[in-house]
């Protein structure tokens, strides 16, 4: 794709809103393109995030206004929102900030999982609905992310809770696992069997890293309570790193990204 920078051209300065595998893969792909200068932004929720190549900044911007200020101060030319499908607030902030600063924005959204024959999915609209659909007594594998455990706190069922970082115990009966994907099908099958799990609860995150729990539930004939994705903010969406890379690296004929910063 890359032929290097032409005389008088400067690199396209792009901000990737990250915290996902796709964001890290996009930063890796961009590192091979000299026309691109990448900053990845992480929320700072995980203590030892996997560091993508290129510059990294960590922590919130302070709302849409803060992000708009950052875009202007850093001379950002393009933004890719590659955050998790359930990270809604930052997506809306990016929409507002990019509109205000006149920065083109693209949403990189991983494809959703597709229901297959044998899947026993119970699709619900919220974590609260998922909690309401649990069988009154039973053994639940809860894999929804540390910040979403509150909807299940205090329930009487037995929970196997898996999060990337250790979480505050909020269940009377639970076993806690702090593990980061990617996970393997054989390990997920063993986990569900070892703990005699009756039902799996997950968000419809999509992606390969956490799909094995879905495949394992199918193999074992277990129901999966699946929280549907929220709709993404307005604007262009792609579902692959390759498409996001092509969008970032595309230099229109009348590009303003020439020598010196665009204002």
- Residues in contact with ligand NAP by the rule CB under 6 A: 17-20, 41-43, 45, 60-63, 66-67, 83-84, 86-90, 93, 145, 147, 203
Distances (CA, A) of 131 to 94, 121, 162, 192, 223: 31, 15, 16, 19, 14
CA separation for the pair 48, 56 (Å, rounded): 13
Find the shortest distance in angstroms from Cβ 36 to ligand NAP. 18
Minimum CB distance to ligand NAP, residue 242 (Å) = 20
Q: Are 167 and 47 in contact (CB under 8 A)?
A: no
- In whole angstroms, how close is the CB of 255 to ligand NAP at the nearest point? 27
E runs forming strands in 109-258: 120-124, 139-143, 158-163, 174-178, 199-203, 223-227, 237-238
**Residue 88 and residue 34: Cα distance in Å, rounded?**
32
- How far, in Å, are 124, 148, 181, 240 from residue 86 at the CA level? 14, 11, 17, 17
CB of 164 to ligand NAP, least distance (A): 8
| Closest residue by Cα to residue 203 from 91, 100, 126 | 126
* Closer residue to ligand NAP (CB): 62 or 135: 62
Nearest residue (CB) to ligand NAP, 109 versus 216? 109
Which is nearer to ligand NAP, 131 or 257 (by Cβ)? 131
Closest to ligand NAP by CB, 88 vs 222, is: 88
Strands (E), the chain: 12-17, 36-42, 55-58, 78-81, 105-108, 120-124, 139-143, 158-163, 174-178, 199-203, 223-227, 237-238
Among residues 17 and 174, whose Cβ is nearest to ligand NAP?
17
Q: Whole-number minimum distance, CB 57 to ligand NAP, in Å?
A: 8
CB of 28 to ligand NAP, least distance (A): 17
Q: Which is nearer to ligand NAP, 128 or 193 (CB)?
A: 128
SS3 for 195? Answer: coil
């Amino acid at each position: 794709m890359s032929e290097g920078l032409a005389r008088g051209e400067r690199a396209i300065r792009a901000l990737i809103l990250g915290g996902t595998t796709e964001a890290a893969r996009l930063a890796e792909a961009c590192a091979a393109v000299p026309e691109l200068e990448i900053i990845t932004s992480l929320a700072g929720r995980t203590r030892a995030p996997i560091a993508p190549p290129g510059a990294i900044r960590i922590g919130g911007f302070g709302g849409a206004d803060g992000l708009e200020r950052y875009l202007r101060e850093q001379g950002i030319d393009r933004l890719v929102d590659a955050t998790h499908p359930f990270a809604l607030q930052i997506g809306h902030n990016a929409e507002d900030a990019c509109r205000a600063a006149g920065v083109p924005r693209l949403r990189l959204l991983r494809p959703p999982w597709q229901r297959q024959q044998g899947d026993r999915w119970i699709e619900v609209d919220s974590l609260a609905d998922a909690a309401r659909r649990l069988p009154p007594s039973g053994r639940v594998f809860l894999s929804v992310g540390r910040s979403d455990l509150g909807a299940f706190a205090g329930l009487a069922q037995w929970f196997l809770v898996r999060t990337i970082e250790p979480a505050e115990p909020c269940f009377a009966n639970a076993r806690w696992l702090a593990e980061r994907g990617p996970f393997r099908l054989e390990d997920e099958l063993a986990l569900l069997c070892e703990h005699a799990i009756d039902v799996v609860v997950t968000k419809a995150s999509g992606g390969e890293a956490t799909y094995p729990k879905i495949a394992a539930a199918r193999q074992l004939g277990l129901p999966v309570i699946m929280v549907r994705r929220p709709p993404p903010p307005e604007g262009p969406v792609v579902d692959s790193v390759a498409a996001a890379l092509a969008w970032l690296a595309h230099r229109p004929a009348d590009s303003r990204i020439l020598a010196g910063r665009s204002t």
